[in-house]
Amino acid sequence: MQESILSHIASKFVSQYENVANSSIAYLLNKYSSAREALKNILDFEDVPIYYVTELDSKINGRPDVTGIDANGKKKIIIEGKFWANLTENQPNNYLKEITEDGKILFLAPEKRSNSLLQEIKNRIGEKEIEKVVVYSWLDFIKLIEVENEKDYDKYLKADLLQIKKLCEKMDVEGMPPLSSSDLDPMNGRISSNFADIIDECNSILRNWSYSNFDGLKSTAKKYGYGFYFLAYDFGCYLHFDTQKWYLRENHTPFWLLVTDKDWEESFNIQHYLKEYDRGNSFGSEYGIILKPGMDKTQVIDHIVNKTKEVLNYLNSKLNEPESDN
């Protein structure tokens, strides 16, 4: 997924993405009429405030993310930006006490969370008050603003929307949802433990491969997984499982082969060299080893080892092909 400068900076220096996203929404609503037109459509209002404040402390009923102040200085709209954090004690019950009689509260959330979030809110406030609460997805809100922008095009709004869109996409993918019972199932721990054992057994087998060299190299744990380094042909290799790549990359596999030069410096564009072999599972300098449901442990190990050898054999042959005279 391509990053924007906003999503990149937020990931490096900000512990709570929601604060950045909410400040961005307030900025859009204060600066652009197209953003306010989109908000009218979502809330089914004839008019919305032109002034929005972040973190306006109510002293009694909490501190909403974004508050829309009408011409009379009243709180007509409250916007709560959620990614995967739980509702606070004040949401939305106490916030309903803050808005005007004809006001509404808008919750922005990832599409995958919208239904469950709406049900959580209903459980707290009941069917009667739910008419004052709207749950909408971040990306649908941005798309609606984009539609409004096409009516009276503003290139600066388009650029701003791209920034916030990339941040929301990043959080949709990388944010941590509240834990479910299935997340806490001990079988998840068993699988991770088995993956580490599989890597160790692949290590033992590849040590006997005539083209491998393990001198001075070792297995190592990293933030998102575990693997081992070795040399093969003129390549530096790292065979590992990686929990982050497992869900971020499109092919969704836990096992990966990283290939550099023998000095561990230059990374190859594997996708270029493997375009006739398996372009779809190569990403930059890494190749994803696809497993199939039903494989037992022995089959998984054999498959990973064989695929590792195949890829490295193929890369070696491609890099050593005689250059064409044409």
267-282 per-position pLDDT tens digit: 778 888 888 899 889 9
* Range from 56-60, 172-176, 189-193 carrying the lowest mean pLDDT: 172-176
Give residue 5's pLDDT. 43
For residue 13, pLDDT over 80 is answered with no
Per-residue pLDDT band for 9 (boundaries 50, 70, 90) equals very low
Decide: helix, strand or coil at residue 136: strand
For residue 165, pLDDT over 50 is answered with yes
Rounded-to-integer distance, Cα 303 and Cα 15, Å? 40
Q: What is the mean pLDDT of residues 75-85?
A: 90
Query: DSSP labels for 210-247?
Result: TTEE-TT--EEEETTEEEEEEEETTEEEEEEEEHHHHH
Residues 6+ apart with CB under 8 A from 42: 106, 134, 136, 141, 144
For residue 12, pLDDT over 70 is answered with no
Rounded-to-integer distance, Cα 197 and Cα 189, Å? 13
For residue 14, pLDDT over 50 is answered with no
**Of residues 210 and 111, more confidently modeled:** 210
Q: What is the mean pLDDT of residues 226-241?
A: 96
Length of the chain: 326
This prediction's pTM: 0.62
Rounded-to-integer distance, Cα 108 and Cα 69, Å? 19
Q: What is the mean pLDDT of residues 88-116?
A: 90
Q: What token pair was written down for 29?
A: 């609503």
What's the distance, CA 8 to chain centroid?
Answer: 12
Decide: helix, strand or coil at residue 266: coil
* Range from 48-62, 99-113, 169-183, 184-198 carrying the lowest mean pLDDT: 169-183
CB 51 within 8 A of CB 30: yes
Q: What is the mean pLDDT of residues 132-152?
A: 94
Angle at 193 between CA 188 and CA 199, to 5 degrees: 130
Per-residue pLDDT band for 16 (boundaries 50, 70, 90) equals low
- CA–CA distances in Å: residue 126 to residues 110, 118, 121, 131, 311: 23, 11, 8, 10, 58
104-109 and 75-81 strand pairing: parallel
Q: What token pair was written down for 307?
A: 């695929």
